[in-house]
Amino acid sequence: MGRPCAADLHKHPKGVHCVIAWLECLCAAARFANAQTTAVACQTLGACHYSPYTMQDRFQCPEAARLAFGTWPRQLLLGCVPLLCVAPATAQLSEGETPYYVGASASHLIADQMSKGTINQALQQQGLAVSTTHADESASGWKMFAGYRFHPNWALEGGYSNLGSYDFEGQVIADPGSVQARFKANDWHVTVLGIMPLNDDWEVFGKAGVGYWRTQLQASGTFSAQGAQQVKTHGTSPVFGVGALLRLSNNLSARAEWERFLRVGEASGTGKADIDSASLGLQYNY
């Protein structure tokens, strides 16, 4: 007879087969045998010796072989296969247990339609006639976001975007002097993402949703007849965009995207514009 299983485990590279055979007998005995048969199985397992050849030859003792392969083939299959399936099922659950993510990005912003005339109109509503000589149409900003990927191809995401500050300069028409103005905007938004994985590392996505924006226009200058007041407005408007994600590790990814925030601001208060955001940042899944 061969060596006992316990001895073979640390001396023979194929000793693991004996452990599998032990588990097969225990599985069958526990799930399908009565108390008497289980006792027999436990006794015969104590006499089990290792053989590295065929499945049937794992048991040198006839009684253990009969228990495992003679009278219980169907029971062994039904009893042990579900246990073998536990590992892949658990792996799938482990991947699905971390659908939550957070991230942050730096943004380059372009305020489309935020022209000199837009600010002139907003200041004129305050009773200050101005001829704007310079207007910023781009700015720097940032964003934070968090999401829940409830399906391999779908996610729900919320975020905050600082949409930048835009400076303007002009001349007061009625009262000789200069005026400086600054337009600021930010946006809280909720979007749904449609995600298409390209391979194990890359995926692309499109997004659409709604944003709650807030804007502010502050003007100051060397005029005396009429002073401009700080004006704030708020409202909601659509948000949409596209992007790509590159996995750097199991939890960390690089994310690039383009978004458009439509109709941010009020023409009669702070000025209104569509703001485009091109951003690059990191996303962390936990």
The predicted-structure confidence for 146-183, as pLDDT tens digits, reads as follows 999 999 999 999 999 999 999 888 877 766 777 888 89
Question: Residue 224 is part of which domain span?
Answer: 95-285
φ, ψ of residue 200 in degrees (nearest 5): -70, -20
Output the 3-class SS for 50-76: CCCCCCHHHCCCHHHHHHHHHCCHHHH
DSSP string, 209-236: EEEEEEEEEEEEES-SS-PPPPEEEEEE
Count up the domains in the chain and report the number. 2
Bridge partner list, 207: 193, 241
Nearest to 98 by CA among 235, 276, 283, 231: 283
Is 258 in the same domain as 278? yes
Is 260 in the same domain as 183? yes
| Helix or strand (DSSP H, E) at 18 | helix 16-32
Is 37 in the same domain as 104? no
What burial letters (b/e) apply to 178-199, b meaning 16+ CB within 10 Å?
ebebbbbbbbebebebebeeee
* Domain-located, residue 119: yes
Which pLDDT score is estimated for 258?
98
Is 31 in the same domain as 152? no
Which pLDDT score is estimated for 37?
45
pTM (2 d.p.): 0.62
* Domain-located, residue 90: no
| Helix or strand (DSSP H, E) at 19 | helix 16-32
Distance of alpha carbon 147 from alpha carbon 144, whole angstroms: 11
The stretches in the chain having pLDDT less than 70 are: 1-97, 115-116, 174-175, 222-229
Is 132 in the same domain as 108? yes
Nearest to 208 by CA among 277, 276, 245, 261: 261
Is 127 in the same domain as 244? yes
Output the 3-class SS for 78-105: HHHHHHHCHHHHHHHHHHHCCCEEEEEE
**Percent share of the chain, pLDDT over 90:** 42
CB 2 within 8 A of CB 42: no
Is 101 in the same domain as 74? no
Is 10 in the same domain as 142? no
Supply the CATH number for residue 130's domain.
2.40.160.20
Last residue of a domain, one of 84, 117, 135: 84
Distance of alpha carbon 202 from alpha carbon 38, whole angstroms: 53
Is 13 in the same domain as 62? yes
Q: Which residues contact 151 (CB under 8 A, 6 or more apart)?
A: none
φ, ψ of residue 21 in degrees (nearest 5): -65, -40
Distance of alpha carbon 145 from alpha carbon 235, whole angstroms: 20
* Domain-located, residue 9: yes
Bridge partner list, 258: 242, 278
